[in-house]
């Protein structure tokens, strides 16, 4: 239809949907206008053919009834689902009705209703979008119907052909048809090119909007990182002093010989080491490596950091970690932690939505050739197929207004993609979800 142009399949599919919807809307307009004009032109029957007016008006009533049946069958009782067939059926019916009027008048080529053919062809070509093939088929049908009407009129009523007038009518009818064919072809090309420009514009705007949102998201993360960097310095120094003082205190004979004091000192040391681990994680968050500055690390370490970050949110949920201690991956550790935080946070929200008393989050890994598959699954509320198709779209969120921008999974998907991997999901509504991604070793 579009010559040798290289057309993106996505654009073509979208255009076909648009084209079908446009034809359906325009066909509704054509049927309503046809019903109106078929009835109004009954005035011509009374004026020009008072003797046969009743027959002509009955014909109009019959065809109005047929078009009304088409209208209901296409738009309210979708018995006719093929829109191309529906368009052809309606137009051939309108052309048939005009030719029947010509036949009833017994005037052959001299009938004034001939003008109705030209008017109908031009009007329909303007209103309804056709393909080039459909235009040729409709206009050829118009000529064939007109010829058959004149032949049958001549055979049944003895109406002369009036050759000079017939040649004149055919000349104008063929000229009009040729004009309509050319106009329809040019309209198809123009309509598609306009659609492609608009499609590209919408796609570009969507990408810009996504990039802007991710930039804002990154700026917020950067701001949190900068704040964390300042706090780290202020917290880390006194913490080191406290840990040093604790070590000195543990060497005191009075402490080492007293079981209660020794246990208390051990508890204090565990608490301080936990704070130190959190500070280490925050430092990695405050000074993240770029995605192209990847190095090998134990995936278990990234998961441990994530568990510490999300410990407060998921304290009432059972966490099961099935990850080998020595399994290595090559990636940006801080970015992988960011992805895991998003996945575990979403799992926590899904479990809370489902109001599970035995909420469970399972984190597991497995090695396939030179890739490591990381999986985060939950027994939360799950997702239907429609939601599953949209979860990685920017701004798509199932959270309440003001409780999420819908960027977490979109950003995570981009991070994994930048690691030459893929983030995917599967889910069963009411049972839970599983998100998984792969990383190189």
Mean pLDDT value across residues 183-191: 84
Flag whether pLDDT at 24 surpasses 90.
no
The residues, ordered by sequence, that sit 6+ positions from 351 with a Cβ below 8 Å of its Cβ are: 317, 359, 360, 361, 378, 379, 380, 381
Q: What is the mean pLDDT of the chain?
A: 82
pLDDT score of 404: 54
The structural domains of the chain, with segments of one domain joined by +, span 9-206, 293-440
pLDDT band at 200 (very low <50, low <70, confident <90, very high): confident
pLDDT band at 229 (very low <50, low <70, confident <90, very high): low
Flag whether pLDDT at 62 surpasses 90.
yes
| Range with the largest mean pLDDT of 59-68, 191-200, 425-434 | 59-68
pLDDT band at 58 (very low <50, low <70, confident <90, very high): very high
Least confident of 80-84, 101-105, 114-118, 283-287: 283-287
Distance from C-alpha of 22 to C-alpha of 128, rounded to nearest angstrom: 8
Flag whether pLDDT at 396 surpasses 70.
no
Backbone angles phi, psi at 113, to 5 degrees: -70, -10
pLDDT score of 174: 87
pLDDT band at 85 (very low <50, low <70, confident <90, very high): confident
What is the topology classification, in CATH, of domain 293-440? Heat Shock Protein 90 (3.30.565)
Flag whether pLDDT at 303 surpasses 80.
yes
């Amino acid at each position: 239809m579009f010559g040798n142009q290289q057309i993106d399949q996505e654009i073509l599919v979208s255009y076909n949907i648009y084209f079908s919807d446009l034809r359906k809307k325009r066909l509704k307009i054509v049927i309503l206008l046809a019903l109106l004009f078929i009835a109004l032109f009954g005035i011509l029957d009374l004026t020009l053919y008072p003797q046969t007016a009743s027959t002509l008006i009955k014909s109009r009533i019959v065809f109005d009834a047929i078009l009304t049946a088409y209208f209901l069958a296409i738009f309210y009782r979708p018995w006719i689902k093929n829109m191309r067939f529906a368009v052809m059926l309606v137009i051939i019916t309108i052309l048939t009705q005009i030719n029947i009027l010509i036949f009833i008048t017994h005037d052959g080529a001299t009938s004034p209703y001939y003008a109705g053919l030209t008017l109908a062809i031009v009007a329909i070509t303007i209103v309804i979008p056709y393909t080039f093939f459909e235009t040729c088929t409709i206009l050829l049908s118009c000529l064939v119907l007109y010829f058959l009407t004149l032949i049958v009129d001549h055979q049944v009523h003895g109406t002369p052909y009036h050759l000079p007038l017939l040649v004149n009518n055919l000349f104008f009818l063929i000229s009009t048809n040729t004009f309509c064919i050319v106009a329809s072809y040019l309209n198809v090309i123009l309509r598609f090119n306009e659609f492609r420009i608009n499609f590209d514009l919408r796609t570009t705007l969507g990408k810009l909007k996504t990039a802007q949102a991710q930039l804002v998201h990154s700026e917020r993360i950067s701001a949190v990182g900068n704040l964390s960097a300042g706090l780290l310095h202020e917290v880390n120094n006194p913490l080191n002093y406290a840990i040093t003082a604790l070590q000195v205190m543990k060497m005191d004979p009075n402490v080492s010989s007293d079981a209660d004091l020794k246990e208390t000192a051990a508890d204090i040391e565990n608490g301080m080491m936990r704070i130190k681990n959190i500070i280490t994680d925050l430092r990695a968050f405050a000074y993240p490596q770029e995605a192209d500055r990847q190095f090998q690390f134990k995936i278990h370490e990234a998961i441990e950091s994530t568990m510490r970050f999300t410990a407060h949110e998921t304290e009432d949920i059972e966490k099961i970690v099935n990850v080998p201690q020595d399994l290595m991956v090559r990636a940006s550790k801080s970015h992988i932690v960011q992805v895991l935080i998003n996945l575990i946070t979403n799992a926590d929200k899904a479990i809370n939505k489902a109001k599970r008393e035995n909420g469970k989050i399972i984190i597991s890994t497995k090695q396939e050739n030179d890739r490591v598959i990381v999986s985060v699954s939950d027994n939360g509320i799950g997702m239907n197929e429609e939601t599953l198709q949209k979860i990685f779209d920017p701004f798509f969120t199932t959270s309440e207004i003001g409780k999420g921008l819908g960027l977490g999974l979109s950003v995570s998907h981009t991070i994994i993609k930048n690691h030459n991997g893929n983030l995917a999901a599967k889910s069963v509504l009411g049972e839970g979800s599983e998100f998984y991604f792969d990383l190189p070793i």
